[in-house]
Amino acid sequence: MAGAGREGMARTASARRKGGLTGTAAELQAGGFPVNLVWRPQAGPQTLLIACPADDILFGGARGGGKTDALLGDAGIYSQAYAPHFRGMLIRRTYDELDEVVARSQELFLPLGAKWQAGRYTWRFPWGGFLKMRYLKRDEDASRYQGHSYNWLGKDEGGNFPDVRPLDKLSATLRDRNGVPIREIMTANPGGPGQPWIVDRYIRNRQPMVPWRDPETGRVRVYIPSRLTDNQALLANDPGYMRRLRGSGPSWLVAAWLNGDWYATQEGGVIKSKWWKRYAIDEPDATPLERRLALPPGKIVAWVHSWDTAQKDNEVNDYSVGTVWAVHETGNAYLVDVVRERMTYPELKKAATDLYDKWGADVVLIEDKASGTSLIQDLRASTKLPVKPVEPDGNKVTRAVSATLLMEAGRMWLPTRATWLLDFENELTSFPTKGVHDDQVDSVSQFLMWLRTFPLTHIPQVASAGTRMGLTSEGTAAPGALSEKRETRDAASRTRTPKPRSRTVRRGPAGTEGF
C-alpha cells in the first residue's frame, strides 16, 4: 500500500516538474493514479484543488465538501513533488479541532511510511520534508512564528478566525530559497465569525474558479467551491449525514452550508437588517479610541451599557450579553462594543466592571431578575458604577417589537467591521427562531426602550410610527421635552470619555490559554 501510494504521488510530482501544474489537471481528471492508493482526490473540486496553479486558494463553502481531506491530500502530494525541500504547516483554531485533523492525517500518512512525532506534533516524510500541525487559540500566538520559513501553509476552517491579521502573520512565513513555489490553501464554510473578511477577500465581486492577481501582494488568488454533493465518498459511507446536517441549525444557515451561500441570512419577521445604518470602521478589532474617532461630529450625550444576564450563575445554555452604546445629540445610537459569553457569576461581575473600565458609562442598564438582581446589588455595594435596574415588561417578542420603533426610524447604527458583528446581526435578524439564542436581542431591546424615554434635542418625530404599530404615546421620545439639566450641560466632543467612578473591585490574575 505504501509503495503504491508513493508511486501514485511520484507521478504527480513528475508532472509538476515537467509541465507545471496545468499539465497535472489533465492527468488527474483522466484518472492518472494507480488503483490501490491510500487516498486520491475525488473528481471535481478536490481534483481541481490539487491541480490548481494559484498560490492563495480558498476551498470549500459548504459543510461536508471534503475540505480537510483535500488539504491533507494536497500536503502529501506537494511534499513528494518538491522532496526533500517541503516545509509545511497546517493550522486549526483550537486543540480539539486539530486533534480531529491529526487523527485523519494518521490514516493517510502512516501507510506511506511517514513518522508522527507526537511530542512535536509534526509529520516527517520518508522522502524528506515535514508538516507541522498547530493550533492558534489566541491571535497573538501568531507572532511566535516570526522568523519561521515554510513553502506550504494550510489554514483549515479559516472562518473560525474572526480577524484575518493573525493568519496574515502566518502567511508572512511563506518563502523558499530552493525554488519551491509557495502555496497557501484555506478551507472555510459560511456562518463563522470570519465570514466578513473571507467575503471581502475572496468572494465579493469575484467569480468562482477564476483566478485573479492581488494588486497589493502580487499573489494569485482563487475560490474553488466544494459542495456536499461533490463528496460522494462521504454520502456513500454515511448516508445519514445530510439528514443530520439539516437538523443541526436554523434553516437559513443549513441552506448556506449545503449551497455554499456566503450571503445567506435569516429574516425572522421582527427585526429587519435594512433598518440599520452603518458607520465606517476599517479594522474588526479597532481600539476604543479608534471607534470613538469613527463616530460622527457633534456631542455624545450619553454612554450606555445594557446587560442581559443568564438565568442562573451556573447556566450552561444561556449567554450573558453586554452592549455599549454612544448616544448622539441627534438621537441616533451607535453600537461600539458587544460582550457575549457564558459566564459564572464572578466572571459576570468582572466582565461588567471591565467593560466600564474600557468605555466608561453614564448609565449601566441591568435587567432586574435572576442573576441580574444579584449583580445590581453587588455593583451598588462594592462600586460606584451608575447602575440602573430595569424591570422587564412583557415577553421577549413584545419588547423587541416595541424597540423596533427606533430601528425602523433609522436611529440604530452599527459598525461596518467588528469581530462580533456577524453573530450579532444573525441573532437579531433571525429573531424569533426556535433554538437560536436571543440574549443580544434582549440587550438591544432593553437599551432602545430606555432611549425612547431619554430627553434629547433634534429628535426626528416617530410618534406616528408608534401609532401605526398600535403603541401608546407613553414612553415615546418627544421633541423639545428635555430636562433642564440636560439643556445646560457643557458641550462634549465626540471622543468624550466618561470619567470612571472610583470603586473597589477585587481582581484576579488574567487568564491565559496554552498553545
What pLDDT was estimated at residue 106?
96
DSSP at 391: -
507 in a structural domain? no
What pLDDT was estimated at residue 447?
94
For residues 333 and 215, membership in a common domain is answered with: no
What pLDDT was estimated at residue 433?
62
For residues 351 and 223, membership in a common domain is answered with: no
| Whether the predicted model's global pTM rises above the 0.75 cut | no
Assign residue 302 the CATH number of its domain: 3.30.420.240
49 in a structural domain? yes
For residues 175 and 80, membership in a common domain is answered with: yes
Q: Which residues contact 398 (CB under 8 A, 6 or more apart)?
A: none
Handedness of CA 246, 248, 250, 254 (dihedral sign): negative
Q: Tell me the per-residue pLDDT of 335-362, one tens digit each, with 9 for 90 and over.
A: 999 999 888 899 999 999 999 999 999 9
Assign residue 204 the CATH number of its domain: 3.40.50.300
Question: Could you tell me the residue range of the domain that residue 124 belongs to?
Answer: 39-259
Handedness of CA 449, 454, 458, 464 (dihedral sign): positive
For residues 405 and 310, membership in a common domain is answered with: yes
What pLDDT was estimated at residue 246?
66
CA torsion, ordered 200, 92, 241, 427, to nearest 10 deg: -50
Domain total in the chain: 2
For residues 244 and 314, membership in a common domain is answered with: no
Q: Is the peptide bond prior to 386 cis by the omega test (within 30 degrees of 0)?
A: no
Give CA–CA dist 157/91, Å, rounded: 9
What pLDDT was estimated at residue 314?
44
Within the chain, which residues score under 50 in pLDDT?
Answer: 1-36, 313-316, 457-497, 499-515
| Grid coordinates belonging to 184 | 497557501
Which strands form 183-188's sheet, in the order they lie side by side? 115-117, 122-124, 130-135, 87-92, 152-155, 183-188, 56-60, 220-225, 212-213
For residues 331 and 424, membership in a common domain is answered with: yes
Annotate 46-85 with DSSP letters as a single string: HHHHHH---SEEEEE-STTSSHHHHHHHHHHHHHHHTTT-
Give CA–CA dist 7/80, Å, rounded: 10
382 in a structural domain? yes
For residues 284 and 314, membership in a common domain is answered with: yes
For residues 212 and 281, membership in a common domain is answered with: no
- Which residue do the cell numbers 501544474 mark? 21
For residues 325 and 197, membership in a common domain is answered with: no
For residues 313 and 248, membership in a common domain is answered with: no
| Grid coordinates belonging to 450 | 430606555
